[in-house]
Chains A and B, each alone.
Chain A
């Protein structure tokens, strides 16, 4: 049955795509079988992450960007666009209000666009656990460009950088002083910046602060990247000697002022996103990022799968007794976990 679903997804049937994404959200063996059947047909789409603080206009910007790619871009035939918009799940009720579609009404009725809302379901990095799988479904279904809009992100929700090829960080004027711009985290993951609501006072200052931050990227001898708590060193390229803002692949993040509600600055933003993809392809960085992505995905699956197995293999009573011993300080959690894993 699931292979049949995968077949229908490959033909681009919208109902099948929607069903497959639900299956992925529900997890379980059927979801794994469908994703396994789709995997060989993925890897073609350009995955674009859009992240930024709540209320910065991410959904409106995604709407404008998708509309531009569908209507105004020079590509022929027009690029097809899949959109996955993640909103937060309530930590108390488990419910969620998924409201990103409200801003995307201009895209309704366009068969070349597929929009799916998704609740984060307790995941903390700005995405849902099922987001990667949903991206795969849209990729296999033939969407050329897939936009993933994260939960409104503060400083540390940086999972999107590993899930996407190109990360757009949306900022708005007046969010903070220059110190905010030199903090670690979300500003570091941008390939392209959008300073949205640029008709507000302070837009030029925000652009300047971002530029300053980029120009200060001089520090380290080699680029070091956090990867599941491990440090991975990447080699610095010669470009950096001329311009310190250029990243290890030779790309300098560009900064664009936009007013998404009026569709201002969108052409330039879309061009920058597409130019970044071309850059990744030319430099071989795409292959490197794909490898990173595959590695991170595998690790996440192993983590979840091994936890599931251990819990499945452990008698309820045994688990409860281990927890009791840990609480009473007769046993430490490290030893307990080793005991469970060795069984």
Chain B
């Protein structure tokens, strides 16, 4: 599932990723923009997804991502692979890993790298 938490409406990157994953043979649920952590966790639960990828460009990642991983844990979904993308400063990456976001992919990451990461790490 590709989700856009927060209030920025720039989902071109998210759509490019969704399309690349589709072309790699994956079924991608795209939630659209302006999703709350609650909406993302509930959609992940209903769709029974293997991977949640979130893209955020507004800088609110340190506020929103922990809430998503917390809700996933509450739903017994800690085995879901959580990835992040968008504008995320390098210094935040260790903290994101800490909270269970296994992969962080910034602008310019080749889509092949993300696909490979998912194939190697998804349940």
- Asked if B32 and A102 make an inter-chain contact with CB atoms under 8 angstroms apart, the answer reads yes
Q: Which residues from A are CB-within-8-Å of B34?
A: 105
> B21 on the interface (CB 8 Å rule)?
yes
- Asked if A98 and B45 make an inter-chain contact with CB atoms under 8 angstroms apart, the answer reads no
Q: State whether A18 and B45 are in contact (beta carbons under 8 Å apart), knowing that A95-B21, A101-B32, A117-B29 are contacts in the complex.
A: yes
Stretch at the interface among A108-116, A173-181, A194-202: A108-116
Q: Of all chain B residues, which has the CB nearest A118? A: B27
Assembly CA distance A94 to B24 (angstroms): 8
- Asked if B47 and A116 make an inter-chain contact with CB atoms under 8 angstroms apart, the answer reads yes
What's the tally of chain B residues with a CB closer than 8 Å to chain A?
28
- Asked if B22 and A14 make an inter-chain contact with CB atoms under 8 angstroms apart, the answer reads no
- Asked if B29 and A93 make an inter-chain contact with CB atoms under 8 angstroms apart, the answer reads no
- Asked if B22 and A90 make an inter-chain contact with CB atoms under 8 angstroms apart, the answer reads yes
**How many residue-residue contacts, CB under 8 A, span A and B?**
75
- Asked if B46 and A18 make an inter-chain contact with CB atoms under 8 angstroms apart, the answer reads yes
Interface size class of A (residues with CB under 8 A): 20 to 34
Q: Of all chain A residues, which has the CB nearest B36? A: A108
A95: contacting residue among B28, B36, B38, CB under 8 A? B28
- Asked if A105 and B39 make an inter-chain contact with CB atoms under 8 angstroms apart, the answer reads yes
A93: contacting residue among B25, B36, B76, B77, CB under 8 A? B25
A101: contacting residue among B23, B29, B36, B75, CB under 8 A? B29
> A96 on the interface (CB 8 Å rule)?
yes
A94: contacting residue among B25, B35, B39, B77, CB under 8 A? B25
A binding-site residues for B, Cβ under 8 Å = 14-15, 17-19, 21-22, 89-90, 93-99, 101-102, 105, 108-109, 114-117, 119
